Amino acid sequence: MAVKLHATERGKGPPVVLLHGLFGSGSNLGALARALQEHFSVFSVDLPNHGDSPWLEDADLAAMAGTLSAWLQHQGLARADFVGHSLGGKVAMQLALARPELVSALVVADIAPVAYPPHHDTVFAALDAVAAAHCRSRQEAAELMQGYLQEEQVIQFLLSNLRPAGDGTYRWRFNLEGLKRGYHAVRAEPAASGNYPGQVLFIKGGDSDYIRAEHRSHILHLFPRAQLKVMPGCGHWLHVQRPSLFNSLVSRFLRDVAT
C-alpha cells in the first residue's frame, strides 16, 4: 500500500492505535488518548478518506486494513493494541482477522463483525447539500443541515470536518464522494478465513442496537476469547456520552492484557 496515513503520537510505553468511526478523524478519541498516555504510546490515526490521510479510490475494509498494516511497518511497529469505534472497530477487526500477528489485543466499541443495512441516507443528503451550496460560513452550513438532521450533536460532529477552501467557501475535509461510493463496502462483514486468537473486549452502549444478542455466536466464532461490557445510559457515541467510564474500561483491559 502506497497510502501513508496521518497520525499523531503521545505518551510512552507499549503501542496502542486508536481508530475513529465513519466521518470522523483521529482526534475523536482524544480523551481516550490522554487517559492512556501515561502507560502507552498512543497513536491516533486518520483512516483513509478521513481527516488528513490520503484518499483511496476503493476504501473497503480490506483496503483500509491494508493501509494500517503498511503504516505499522513504516512506524517500525511489529504489533500493537488496537481500539476502534464503529467503522474503526470494523477495520481493526478486519486487520486482526487477516493479520493476527500484528494485533496484540483488541477493543471494539459498539460495532459487531456483521453486515449492517444502510442508515446514513439523511447524513449523506445533508453533506451533499452543504457541498453543493458552497457555504461561506459554518453557521450557513449548520442551518442547511438542520433541514436534514434532527440531532444537534450529529450536526456539530460533522461540522468539525468543514474547512475553509481558500476562496471564501467551506468544503468537507473527508472524501465525500469516496465515502458514498464505498459505503456498501464498509457496511459489510469483515472477511475471515479463520479466527483471531487474541484477547478482545467489545464495549456496547446500553441504549444502542449495534451489538445485539443474535450477534453473540458469530462474535465468539471469530473472536473466541471475546468478552463484552455494557455501558448503561449511553448509545452509539459511548466514548462521548460517558467518557470516564469508557476510558476506564479500555485502560483497565489493555493494562491487564499487558501484564
**Cα(46)–Cα(21) distance, integer angstroms:** 10
Report yes or no: 67 and 162 within 8 Å, Cβ to Cβ: no
- Looking only at the bridges linking them, the beta strands covering 162-164 and 226-231 are unpaired
Q: Which of 20, 50, 236, 239 is catalytic?
A: 236
Active site residue 236: yes
Q: Where are the beta strands (DSSP E) in 34-143?
A: 41-45, 80-85, 103-109
| Residues in the chain with pLDDT values less than 50 | 1
Collapsing DSSP states into helix, strand and coil, what is residue 32?
A: helix
Active site residue 184: no
Amino acid in the structure at residue 19: L
What is the pLDDT, as a whole number, of residue 146?
96
What is the pLDDT, as a whole number, of residue 1?
44
Question: 28 exposed, middle or buried (CB, 10 Å; 0-12, 13-18, 19+)?
Answer: buried
Alpha-carbon distances of 128 from 51, 141, 227, rounded to whole Å = 18, 11, 39
Q: Which of 53, 86, 104, 251 is catalytic?
A: 86
What is the pLDDT, as a whole number, of residue 4?
86
Report yes or no: 103 and 80 within 8 Å, Cβ to Cβ: yes
List the Cα angle 7/8/13 in 5-degree steps: 115
Prediction pTM value:
0.95
What is the pLDDT, as a whole number, of residue 57?
84
